Amino acid sequence: MTSQHRVIETDRPAQGQYISAQNAESELNASIIRANISESFEEYLEVFDAFYADNVEVTDETSDQVISGKSKVRSLLLYFLVPLHVMAEVGGLSISVEEMTIPGDVADETHSAWTLHLGAPSGSTCTLSWFAHRKWAGSRVVYERHYDHHQRGGPLTFDDFTFNTVESASGFRWVS
């Protein structure tokens, strides 16, 4: 009886890059989930600053446009976050975010599925879901693509919220 042993060479640097990207992805996603948009949108900007490279590129399947650079992506992020924060803080919008990591096999690339649940005080709901593909350079995202967007429930309208109406001394009031 003979015993044979084979040594299989692995690409250690690629394996290290894979683990590094997966760890960074887990930390980024956990930070996004922990942030509370009802209290502040600034926490999300801190997460963005900590995890995204200055030369980040962001794309979306709904547009051929590539948004390049941290300042341009930050502006886009604010355009999304500020209204959510205001609707949550002032209008009573309930917001929850879920993330599910999708296993991959390419070093420095990660995939995840996201779901955003929006619940208005009226009882109306809207659920948005999409996938994110990220490319990493060390601990920084250098590329992010969102794809396969879905929406369940209609858009929430002004009538779905409980904005406080205030009458002024001169008789003016907010009319919806």
Q: Any residues with CB less than 8 A from the CB of 29 and at least 6 apart, and which?
A: 99, 101, 112
Domains of the chain: 12-160 (3.10.450.50)
Q: What is the pTM of this model?
A: 0.81
> CA 18, 23, 25, 30: dihedral to nearest 10 degrees?
160
Residue by residue, pLDDT tens for the chain (176 residues) are 444 544 444 444 455 566 788 899 999 999 999 999 989 999 999 999 999 999 999 999 888 899 999 999 999 999 999 999 999 998 999 999 999 999 888 889 999 999 999 999 999 999 999 999 999 999 999 999 999 999 999 899 988 987 655 443 444 455 54
Rounded CA separation 13/59 (Å): 28
